[in-house]
Amino acid sequence: MTINWGGVIPAITTSFNQDYSIDFAFFAEHCRWLVDAGCLGLVPCGSLGEGATLSAEEKIAIIETALNAVGERVPVIPGIASLSTAEAVWLAQAAESAGCHGLMVLPPYVYSTDWREMKAHVEAVMRATNLPILLYNNPPAYKTDFLPEQIAELAQENANLVAVKESSSDVRRVTAIRALIGERLEILVGVDDEIVEGMQAGAVGWIAGLVNAFPRESVTLFHLAEQVRTGQDDRAQLDALYAWFLPLLRMDTVPKFVQLIKLAQEMVGMGNARVRAPRLELHRAELENARRTIQHALEHRSGLDIA
């Protein structure tokens, strides 16, 4: 299956039962719901999927669940991250054997260092598989910053590196990468509250977070931004939807983004707020403030023109 990067691809959350085991039945339902809303793929086991709290065996079980739920409809592109390079390589090969269509490759958890070591890590994963690779650059979270010239070097030396998820929160990175390597890589926005600006700068897709609770709104926002970028529409409808959505999209950019997005899912009736430790659910003022923001959005979305 060829991956179409030009759309909304959720970084899907992981659903937990009351005992914090994985709720595979709901996870499969969630996968189908997102695809039914127009999403073009799924990225399980990433940061938003709480990949750091999942065992290797659980990750493979989640991947297999996603493949069984939607694998004939859209590509499944799991996040590949680990404390060690050896385990990351094993996960990549296991995901390929399971039938995945691509991989999102992250730097290692915890250990962040210089370019030589980070290059060796991601290249070991890339060269362990024939699948197309999406490189995930998220310096705020992983303390490793793949600079545009380093991304260009990786692309020149690794033919299966085909895309980059840019989450540095600096929209100028999109134009910098494009200036170095032209159309060689697809560039996707990985920070929710930068999607419109990122697309105007030349990004083609969105690895999205709030889509887990608001898929139709996310898909509509993406298509409106695409139409404005290509001159097919004016900004009025895009600006109205973006203004409504921004208080929610900003929840994707803070340390407790997993808790916030899962709370939003709970409030729209599509999931629950449970997270695995060391994360804890929101409480007191932070919970009330988040609820107030989400509730305000829910009360004012009826007037939006959503496809």
91, 56 contact by CB (below 8 A): yes
Q: Is 256 a catalytic residue?
A: no
The residue written with tokens 């030396």 in the block is 157
Q: Is 262 a catalytic residue?
A: no
Q: Concatenated DSSP letters for 106-122?
A: -PPSS----HHHHHHHH
- What is the C-alpha to C-alpha distance for residues 134 and 126, in angstroms, rounded to an integer? 10
E strand spans, the chain:
8-10, 79-80, 103-105, 133-137, 161-166, 186-189, 205-208
Write the single-letter amino acid at 152.
Answer: A
167, 138 contact by CB (below 8 A): yes
* Catalytic-role residue among 136, 142, 242, 262: 136
The residue written with tokens 């890339």 in the block is 126
Helix, strand, coil in percent for the chain, rounding step 5: 50, 10, 40
3-state secondary structure of 156: helix
CA-based max dimension of the chain: 52
140, 107 contact by CB (below 8 A): no
63, 44 contact by CB (below 8 A): yes
- What is the C-alpha to C-alpha distance for residues 179 and 104, in angstroms, rounded to an integer? 23
* Catalytic-role residue among 59, 142, 165, 262: 165
User: What are the counts of helices (DSSP H) followed by strands (DSSP E) for the chain?
Assistant: 12, 7
State the catalytic residues. 136, 165
